[in-house]
Chain A
Amino acid sequence: MDRILFEKTGKAVWMSHLDTMRLMQRAFRRAGVLLHHSQGYTPHAYVSMPLPLSVGTESLCEILEYELDSKLPISPEQLNKVMPQGIRVLRVYDSPIKTKYLTMLQAELTLYYDRGVPEGTAERITELFAAPEIKVVKRTKRGPEETDIKPLVYSASLVQKEDRILMDCMVSAQNPPLNPLLLVQAIESLLPQCKPDHATCRRIEVYDDKGNPFR
């Protein structure tokens, strides 16, 4: 499978998943690479991203799969020359590992408290994620639904800075996936006194079922 590994940071984080795919289709063309196209009246270039990234989330580990009609060498520099701000290709490579083995996602959440972190917040949050279940209301196609996210959170550890808490967490990446921002939502709804003024999320790394970085 032909893949690229790339970062999405800064201004680019506001691009949606679909826009990112469109960007990539165009970027390959700009770099002089014609992707494999589907047949039919409106042929489109095949690209896919196993883990859609939500708008506003940074990532250091995005993976995009593409198809070519015939093999040709592509370098990260070639693609980086034609990228918008915030998109940086780290690797262009061929991988034998199917995306179904992409199982875990490591993310860093930053919780901002404009008036300083209220006392006891870190302890309360640690307690919350140690509890046997963490119920949050998820928006689904069928309307709001309460689910327990605990089975999908493999670990969560906190570091407190003056006005923020950094939370390093490992969550399920697929089947089903967990958006790490749901952890913030859990804090907001279950620990209202610990509600941050603002929170951001960054994907750090993706892993396969054996705990190795997924490529």
Chain B
Amino acid sequence: MNEKLLRILPNVQKPARYVGGEYKEIIKDKKEVDLRVAFCFPDTYEIGMSNLGMRILYAIMNQMPGVWCERVFAPWGDMEEAMTEHGLPLYGLESGDPLTDFDMIAFTIGYEMSYTNVLNMLRLGNIPLHARDRKGLNQMVFAGGACMYNPEPLADFFDFFCIGEGEEMTPEILELYRKAKKEQWSKEAFLKEVAHIEGVYVPSFYEHVYKEDGRLQEIKIAEGAPERITKRIIQNLDSAHYPTDMIVPNLEIVHDRANLEVMRGCIRGCRFCQAGFTYRPVRPRSPETLLQQAIDSLESSGCHEITLSSLSTSDYRELPKLAEEMLDYCTPRKINLSLPSLRADNFSRELMLKLQQVRKSGLTFAPEAGTQRLRDAINKNVTEEEILETCRIAFEGGWNNVKLYFMLGLPTETDEDVLGIAELVYKILKTWRAHASNKKRGCRIHVATAYFVPKPFTPFQWEKQISPEEYIRRQRLLKENMPSKSIEYNWHAADVSRLEAVLARGDRRLGKLLENVLAKGERLDAWDEYFNYQLWLDAFADCGIDPNFYTVRGYEEEELLPWALISDGVQEAYLKAERKRAYASQTTPDCRTQCSACGANCLLKGGKCDG
């Protein structure tokens, strides 16, 4: 191991996250490798190693002969300081080699507030930040991930982006790069070619021209570049590669358990949820495949806990069968099965109560809005009756904990809706009083509210975000009206959600903002310990950028949007129609009840969704 690193490690928190060497880490012989990829996750090891997408792509890249993909995570503040002091550049965990030794530098980006980490990691790796300053094929920097549907704020820094699911696209890109390297193409030639791989977006081929009022006027497309970039999807999840022999971290990570993805996409169509649209169409894995994958991953990792994950696991058609079979396997082996994101319907209710997680942490609901009217407007199809009924059963069974998640600032929200949250809480409290079988320890209700962030590719992509002052007013209103002092109420800070809104719908001009705030020392924005709002405000001022332009202004439906050339398969006309229905508080049936022709089925060969 690197001598400098050995000196640093005794003095930093949780050093195990900086050395690799875990069980099932992939080590290759450099002599047999002709393409090295540094796969970066712009947050800490504990968060990144919990990311299923990263683990899948790590396996897929390393499955390719001659390719060695290593992991790189963002160092915590103490480590960054020590690395800078000792002159140790950011390195791949497997080999310990600096980023500059790699051919390609890939990022998976799932959260807007990690953008500063992205730039910081390039900086710590001595990689020129701007794509135009990186000449030649070396250190080709690209990114994919859940929030790369609007990658514009990062456009200056990346050579290209991958839109959609990476399982098939990534090997195609790597093969092309390998060919380019062998035949010594220019960077320009490679980018021209890679732009024709479906799902690849090369931002330098698109020039954004702005109007005087700051809005986007035109996107000039370079000759030969695609006019539209449509996301890639995996047609059949059963045949997609799913690694069951994954790295087992040497320290505790955020999701420290085996994880199975039961399906992609969500049938629900909640109007605020970006993933609900961008992950369409709905594609399940078969229960046979899943059971086998479950057994394989549990045996390989030695985990004593497994999760079935997806955007809405209760909507997995075969959940009863799968859950039963999994419990048959897990129970005698003392393995916990956990099912996050269950809905409050009958079957899930029973299942939820059977499972470990409820016993441990209590019930969790995300009604998102306090009144039925607003829940209809956002198409969150959960009713008060369902919530109260589930609570009743749980309270009768001896449980006393309930967690509730809401958003403030949703389109059309009024004070009545805000107060509706307090009323719902009151009804839950009453239910507890009437039905709790075990009243000794009292009823614990936790309420959390988030500040609504309008996201691209949703029916609310044109909406105004309410101002921070208004958000705080609503949050206070709610606090004052909570029915009992015993209710624990937490709210998200306005600052982070405001910045998130700026970056989510941001354009290319935000590149200089990111660079500016990075230079001021900002990074690890997702962490309270490091987030410094003032630095962001200073950076806005320095760059002459008004955050309100991206938040409270809202976007016109006729306006050319920065992400206009990118498509996730869902038609814009559909989003507009959904927005109208929201204003009329009209729900849209879920995809299983009735297909509402959003357009995403066109991505499927055969054109049929499994709604």
Contact = CB atoms under 8 A, between A and B. Distances in A.
Interface of A: 10-12, 14-16, 18-19, 22-23, 25-30, 32, 34, 37, 41-45, 55-56, 82-86, 198
A11 B334 contact: no
A11 B20 contact: yes
Contacts of B298: 29
Given A12-B250, A16-B16, A42-B356, A82 B304 contact: no
A185 to B, nearest CB: 12
B250 A84 contact: yes
Contacts of B360: 41-42
B334 A22 contact: no
Given A11-B21, A14-B19, 16 more contacts: A10-B1, A11-B1, A11-B20, A14-B250, A15-B251, A16-B16, A19-B252, A27-B23, A29-B299, A30-B299, A41-B360, A45-B334, A55-B16, A82-B23, A84-B250, A85-B21
A26 B302 contact: yes
B301 A26 contact: yes
Interface in B191-247: none
A60 B315 CA distance: 52
A56 B333 contact: no
18 contacts: A11-B20, A16-B16, A19-B250, A22-B252, A26-B303, A26-B304, A29-B303, A29-B304, A30-B23, A30-B302, A34-B334, A42-B356, A43-B334, A55-B15, A56-B15, A84-B23, A84-B250, A85-B25
Nearest to A35: B334
B301 A84 contact: no
A82 B302 contact: yes
Nearest to A24: B302
A27 B333 CA distance: 15
Contacts of B356: 41-42
A23 B16 CA distance: 13
Contacts of B333: 34
Contacts of B251: 15-16, 19
Contacts, number: 83
B248 A26 contact: yes
Contacts of B7: 198
Counting chain B residues whose Cβ lies within 8 A of the other chain, the interface size class is 20 to 34
Nearest to B250: A15
Contacts of B16: 14-16, 19, 55
Interface string B19-35: 11111010000000000
A84 B334 contact: no
A83 B250 contact: no
A23 B250 CA distance: 7
A42 B356 CA distance: 8
B359 A84 contact: no
A11 B333 CA distance: 31
Nearest to A40: B359
Contacts of A41: 356, 359-360
Given A14-B16, A16-B251, A43-B334, A84 B304 contact: no
Q: Which 4 A-B pairs have the closest CB atoms?
A: A11-B21, A26-B302, A29-B302, A85-B21
A140 B572 CA distance: 63
A23 B360 CA distance: 23
Interface in B23-53: 23, 25
Interface of B: 1, 6-7, 9-10, 14-16, 18-23, 25, 248, 250-252, 298-304, 333-334, 336, 356, 359-360
Contacts of B250: 11-12, 14-15, 19, 23, 84
A42 B357 CA distance: 10
A12 B7 CA distance: 16
Given A22-B252, A29-B304, A83 B9 contact: no
A56 B7 CA distance: 10
B8 to A, nearest CB: 10
A34 B330 CA distance: 12
A85 to B, nearest CB: 4
Contacts of A44: 304
Given A15-B250, A26-B302, A84-B250, A37 B334 contact: yes
A185 B248 CA distance: 35
Nearest to A31: B302
Contacts of A55: 10, 15-16
Contacts of A23: 250
Most chain-A CB neighbours within 10 Å: which of B16, B22, B250, B252? B250
A22 B9 CA distance: 21
A72 B303 CA distance: 21
A208 B226 CA distance: 75
Contact of B248 (A10, A18, A84, A198): A84
A205 B136 CA distance: 55
Most B C-beta atoms less than 10 A away, residue of A15, A18, A44: A15
A84 B22 contact: yes
A193 B25 CA distance: 43
B21 A84 contact: yes
A45 B333 CA distance: 11
B302 A28 contact: yes
B27 to A, nearest CB: 9
B252 A56 contact: no
Nearest to A33: B302
A82 B303 CA distance: 13
A22 B256 CA distance: 11
A45 B304 contact: yes
A27 B300 CA distance: 9
A22 to B, nearest CB: 7
Contacts of A56: 9-10, 15
Nearest to A36: B334
Query: Most chain-A CB neighbours within 10 Å: which of B15, B22, B301, B302?
Result: B302
Contacts of A32: 299
Nearest to B20: A11
A25 B19 contact: no
B354 to A, nearest CB: 12
- Select the residue from A14, A16, A32, A34 with max chain B CB neighbours within 10 A: A14
B23 A14 contact: no
Given A19-B251, A26-B248, A198-B7, A12 B21 contact: yes
